[in-house]
Structure 1
Amino acid sequence: MKDEKAVVVFSGGQDSTTCLFWALKTFKEVEAVTFNYNQRHKQEIDCAKDIASELGVKHHILDMQLLNQLAPNALTRSDIDVEEGSDGDLPTTFVPGRNLLFLSFAGVLASQVDAKHIITGVCETDFSGYPDCRDAFIKSLNVTINLSMDTNFVIHTPLMWLDKAETWKLADELSVLDFVNEKTLTCYEGIVGTGCGTCPACKLRNAGLEKYKKMMQKVDFNGE
């Protein structure tokens, strides 16, 4: 029996869309929330709108543009190049405080819509070193949000220990692999689907899909 109501932190990307489908299968009622922080790839907001509309999911868009002012980086400034981290440095795409703020506001929204579950697509396995994607951070914030609002939210992270190939596997198990592959936006250049193919997000996404396809070919070959 499906349990209660959930709010999904939703960007319209591969991970959050997979989480949205997971939530729709897991919970009785689901709403999605997308944050407008004047991000470089604003197309993700339109992508999130389109997916939520197609799935019939109530969709909230919250204005978080103050984050753009406070946290200059490659996702909030067009004059900063998208670069992977080196020598222990974080990638230029790291937005300080983003998940802290997003999940906190998702908690406020959840309290208003009577939801006890919050879902986010953060992952500690295939991530870029972002400190706010770690399991320890999520567990800590879950306690903090509950204390701040005197409630009992549960923050779910279905992808926390999955690599990108395993995330594609989950989408396939949910029977939505083609949907996720064709209709989500992960690319830092704002190109839906397989994207530009050269930015770090596209490389990670596409390498994961190729790895999953090879895994499936091996299974088919062995007749398992």
Structure 2
Amino acid sequence: MNKEKAVVVFSGGQDSTTCLFWAKKRFKEVIAVSFDYNQKHKLELQCAKDICKKYNVEHHILDLNLLNQLAPNSLTRQDIKVDKSSPENGVPNSFVDGRNMLFLSFVAVFAKQRGINTIITGVSQSDFSGYPDCRDVFIKSLNVTLNLAMDYEFEVLTPLMWIDKAETWKMAYDLGVLDIVKNETLTCYNGIKGNGCGDCPSCKLRKNGYLKFKKTYL
């Protein structure tokens, strides 16, 4: 099993960027893979490109436009506004059915072709916002399925799984990349870089986490 290389599922947002630099500390070679599924906040792909170019990370963008056709939601349709809060029942309308499953499956194919066993993704059960495909049980289940499907030993790592947003900011701080994550990433559902729109659920989660981080750790 190759322990020197890793592939990071990379959106250009806070979580995946933190994971990217976490991986760079632990592996000799890190490759970032992003997905174009015709998302509204296309600027995230430009953020991903810029970060990888600036910090010398090999970067690939895979076409997954089929996902946009299959799962219309507030992240893929201009006429659907993002829920400002999570519904009492069900998942937010920003949830894209099958997204993480497809991302990880395609990244696994990509990794196997290059003899890479380790896949890193920034999902978190602590801050999963009602998304079922951010749960630890899903990741572990898919890991087994990928191994069986391709007769290959994958290891899917989730550095953020059991930590909240404040602790994610702390991780970025400890890695020495706090300013990079704060200023160069795009987490906002409305496609605004850095601190974002401040109004969507993703921005609120990010801001509240940052305020808690400053109060607790600085």
TM-score (norm 2): 0.97
Structure 1 residue aligned with 2:26 = 26
- Cα deviations across residues 36-94 of structure 1 (Å, max 9, x unaligned)? 00001010001100001011111010000000000010001011110033222210100
Mapping of residues 54-203 of structure 1, within 5 Å = 54-83=54-83, 84-203=85-204
Which AA in structure 2 matches 1:106?
A: V
Asked if 1 retains the 8 angstrom alpha-carbon contact of 2:24 and 2:30, the reply is yes
In 2, distance between residues paired with 1:203 and 1:87?
Answer: 18
Runs of 4+ residues deviating >6 angstroms: none
In 2, distance between residues paired with 1:148 and 1:27?
Answer: 26
Asked if 1 retains the 8 angstrom alpha-carbon contact of 2:74 and 2:80, the reply is yes
Asked if 2 retains the 8 angstrom alpha-carbon contact of 1:8 and 1:20, the reply is yes
In 2, distance between residues paired with 1:86 and 1:148?
Answer: 35
- Cα deviations across residues 162-219 of structure 1 (Å, max 9, x unaligned)? 00000000001101111100100001111111111111110000110000000124xx
Asked if 2 retains the 8 angstrom alpha-carbon contact of 1:43 and 1:190, the reply is yes
Query: Which protein, 1 or 2, shows the higher relative CO under an 8 Å CA cutoff with sep ≥ 6?
Result: 2
The structure with the larger Rg is 1
Asked if 2 retains the 8 angstrom alpha-carbon contact of 1:4 and 1:116, the reply is no
In 2, distance between residues paired with 1:139 and 1:81?
Answer: 32
Structure 2 residue aligned with 1:16 = 16
In 2, distance between residues paired with 1:54 and 1:172?
Answer: 19
What's the % identity of the aligned pairs? 65
CA RMSD of aligned residues (A): 1.0
Asked if 1 retains the 8 angstrom alpha-carbon contact of 2:128 and 2:135, the reply is no
How many residues align? The count is 216
In 2, distance between residues paired with 1:66 and 1:134?
Answer: 24
Asked if 1 retains the 8 angstrom alpha-carbon contact of 2:7 and 2:116, the reply is yes
In 2, distance between residues paired with 1:3 and 1:23?
Answer: 11
Structure 1 residue aligned with 2:38 = 38
